[in-house]
Amino acid sequence: MSETIHLTLPYLAAAQAQKHVTHNEALKRLDAVVQLAVIDTTLAAPPGSPDEGDRYIIAAGATGAWAGHDGEVAAFVDGAWLTMAAEEGWLAYDASTETLLLRQASGWTAVGTSPDAVLGPASATDSVPVLFDGTTGKLIKATTFASFKTALALVKADVGLGSVLNLPQREKLTASRTYYVRTDGSDSNDGLANNAGGAFLTIAKAMAVVAGIDLGGFVATIQVGAGTWTTAVTLPVIVGGTAVLLGDTATPANVTISLSSGSCVTAEGVIGWAVRGFKLVTSGARGVLVRNFSSLTVSHIEFGACTLGHTYCGYNSVLFVETGCTITGNAPYHWLATSGGQVVCQSVTITLSGTPAFSTAFATASVNGSMNIPSITFSGSATGTRYYITLNAVISTGGGGASYLPGSAAGSTLTGGQYQ
């Protein structure tokens, strides 16, 4: 073999005379095709006055010194044309069109114009989006912007692609905002005016709207109008701030959530919410249910009759009880802290009206639950056991004494329970 396979570079023979001639010939061919950039690809005949080193890809129908070399690379070297046949896979830059070309069996193809030849995305100036083939992971196919956006419909707008793709984005508040809910409202309203033509009809609609915006460090308030509301409230996850579900803090009974099943207010896996100014009644579950790493603040709540209990806090959650709460209905317990749940209530007055009865205990703590409830003034009385503590749970009253909590029977501690 006297030359290389791909570039046909001549080998030096043993004891060859004038080795420099053969070596220089090989260098010429290397110089012609390495880092290949051509002046033009449309000429079928040599240009009239080429400069030394000029390179072209010969067009079809070649004539003159290029005759018979269609599609080959032509380089003007030492005053003559040197032609080389390109193999499949060669790349060349066409300076006349600023295009990268790929040599295939069918000829030279501009990268990005043929799906079979695509090596990367089209130019940003093409105004044509491209997509990777989902099967091979190699091809990129031209598409329309409509199809492109459809393919990315599951991309969340708030990761930065929304503005580029014209996808929906979260509104970000620049000030605190109040949404209104009234019995004469409509969920087709925007919720921003406290009248029939502006307010929402359902609490669920208002919460969905709040859950869909970025609060931006501000407070979103859902002001619920007077009436009896018969749908359970499940507080949604919120982004970037805090939210208040607000009834009537002066007279909570004016805004009543009354259910035949389920808990009146549920906070599950959420933080940042406060519920204020409601009367809670349910014949199916609890007044307030807080669990699964949640945090909820309540105040000015009237606890009516609740079949399974007034408040439940469990599974590493925290319930903060602030001022203005009253108890008017019976329940198995007023507070239950369990499974790492914590109830925090300090330095407030809780009013008991009508001597409500607690069939389990006023305060129940179990399974590592805890209550931090010092310096509370209880106005009124109740019947039932004052407290029940078991399974390493703790109720801390700040030294309030055995009769600190409402009830008509002494409390008890079992299995590691502590009353302090």
What DSSP string runs through 306-343?
ETTEEEEEESS-EEEE-S--EE-S-BS-SEEEETT-EE
pLDDT, residue 227, reads 98
Say whether pLDDT at 128 is over 60. no
Instruction: With a cut of 50, say whether residue 247 has pLDDT above it.
Output: yes
Residue 286 predicted with pLDDT over 90: yes
Residue at token pair 């007077």 = 226
Asked whether residue 121 carries a pLDDT value surpassing 90, the answer given is: no
Instruction: Say if residue 238's pLDDT is above 90.
Output: yes
Q: How confident is the model at residue 9 (pLDDT cuts 50, 70, 90)?
A: confident
Of 4-18, 75-89, 324-338, the least confident? 4-18
| Higher per-residue confidence, 154 vs 324 | 324
Which pLDDT does position 154 carry in this prediction? Answer: 43
157 has which bridge partners?
A: none
pLDDT of 306: 98
Q: What is the pTM of this model?
A: 0.64
The residue ranges of every structural domain in the chain are 19-110, 122-141+148-169, 177-419
Show the CA angle centred on residue 67, arms to residues 66 and 69, nearest 5°. 70
Is the pLDDT score of 220 beyond 60? yes
pLDDT bracket for residue 66 (50, 70, 90): very high
CB contact burial 82-93 (16+ within 10 A = b; e otherwise): bbbebeeebebe
pLDDT at 141: 52
Structure-block tokens of residue 342: 């914590």
Across 118-132, 164-178, 403-417, least confident range: 118-132
Q: What is the pLDDT, as a whole number, of residue 140? A: 47
Element (H, E) at 365: strand 363-366
Kindly indicate the confidence band of residue 171, based on its pLDDT and cuts at 50, 70 and 90.
very high
Query: Which residues face 141 on adjacent strands?
Result: 131
**CB count, 10 Å around CB of 75?**
22
Higher pLDDT, 285 or 27: 285
What burial class does residue 224 get, using C-beta atoms within 10 Å of its C-beta: 0-12 exposed, 13-18 middle, 19+ buried? buried
Q: Determine the pLDDT at residue 34.
A: 87
Of 93-107, 164-178, 319-333, the range with the highest mean pLDDT is: 319-333
Q: Among the residues of 167-312, which ranges form H helices?
A: 203-211
- Per-residue model confidence (pLDDT) at position 134: 52
Q: Among residues 326, 298, 182, which one has the least CA distance to residue 235?
A: 298
Rounded Cα distance between 265 and 270, Å, is 12
CATH topology for 177-419? Pectate Lyase C-like (2.160.20)
DSSP 50: P
Are 343 and 335 in contact, with CB atoms under 8 Å apart?
A: yes
Q: Please report the pLDDT score of residue 137 as a whole number.
A: 53
What mean pLDDT value characterizes the chain?
88
pLDDT digits (tens, 9 = 90+) for 356-407: 999 999 999 999 999 999 999 999 999 999 999 999 999 999 999 999 999 9
**From residue 101, how far is each of 93, 96, 106, 111 by CA, in Å?**
6, 12, 13, 6
Write out pLDDT tens, residues 178-213.
999 999 999 999 999 999 999 999 999 999 999 999
Task: Tell me the C-alpha distance between 368 and 86, whole Å.
Answer: 78
Q: How confident is residue 281, by pLDDT bands cut at 50, 70 and 90?
A: very high
Q: What is the pLDDT of residue 115?
A: 43
- 394: which residues sit within 8 A by CB, 6+ positions away? 365, 369, 370, 371, 417, 418, 419, 420
Rounded to whole angstroms, the Cα distance separating 61 from 70 reads: 7
